[in-house]
Amino acid sequence: MKPIGPLMIEHRLIEKMLASFMRYMDVAEMRQKIDPGLIDTAVDFIRIYADRTHHGKEEEILFRALAKKDMAPDLKKIMQELISEHVWSRKTTTSLAQANQGYLSGNGGRLSEILFLARELGSFYPRHIEKEDEHFFVPAEEYLSKEEQAEMLTVFWEFDRKMIHEKYSQIVEEYNSIVSR
Note the pLDDT of residue 170.
Answer: 86
pLDDT in tens, 5-26: 999 999 999 999 999 999 999 9
Note the pLDDT of residue 91.
Answer: 98
As a whole number, the mean pLDDT across the chain is 95
Residue 18 · residue 45 · CB < 8 Å = no
178 band by pLDDT with thresholds 50, 70 and 90: confident
CATH 1.20.120.520 fits 4-179, yes or no: yes
pLDDT in tens, 136-174: 999 999 999 999 999 999 999 999 999 888 888 888 888
Note the pLDDT of residue 33.
Answer: 94
pLDDT in tens, 114-129: 999 999 999 999 999 9
